[in-house]
Amino acid sequence: MTRRFDGKVAIVTGSGSGIGAAVASALLAEGATVVGLDLAHSADVIAGFGENFTAIATDVTNEGDLEAATAAVLDAHGRLDLAFNVAGASRGAPIMQMERSQWDFTVDLVLTGVFLSTKHEARAMTSGGVIVNIGSINGRIPMYGGSA
């Protein structure tokens, strides 16, 4: 490993599992301090990440949660250098059977969540930084039941 992120502070949304957990792990291996934002992190995930990882229970569709989480990062670390917005999920169904609540859940999480995360992360990056928004392959390759 190159330790190319030594001294950098990163936020990773969706860090409780899947791609978000993999991004957090890679950043930690490269020397970053990572603050993971997710609805929940298992004790095993947190323990596996080590001392340079902090979990904050955050709903990325709730602007107050994101505002509080980015403020907590600045209070604890004095800066934010990197942000990876990975939180995503869907409640799929064929479009003819999809309930409005299934549509709203997916759109709120994968679109509004990225908007709100980016908004508050950018405000916290007072000395510049990098924001990476990771989307689903379903934006390019449709999946059955994935119309939302």
Q: Give me the pLDDT at residue 67, please.
A: 97
Q: What is the pLDDT of residue 72?
A: 98
The mean pLDDT of the chain is 93
pLDDT at 1 over 70: no
- pLDDT at position 21: 95
Say which residue the tokens 């679109």 belong to: 111
Domain 9-139 architecture: 3-Layer(aba) Sandwich (3.40)
Specify the pLDDT at position 12. Answer: 98
Please give the structure tokens belonging to residue 92: 């799929």
> Could you tell me whether strands 9-13 and 82-85 are parallel, antiparallel, or unpaired per DSSP bridges?
parallel
Q: Is 56 helix (H, G, I), strand (E, B) or coil?
A: strand
Query: What is the reported pLDDT for 73?
Result: 98
> Would you list the domain boundaries of the chain?
9-139
CB 37 within 8 A of CB 17: no
Q: What is the mean pLDDT of residues 60-87?
A: 97
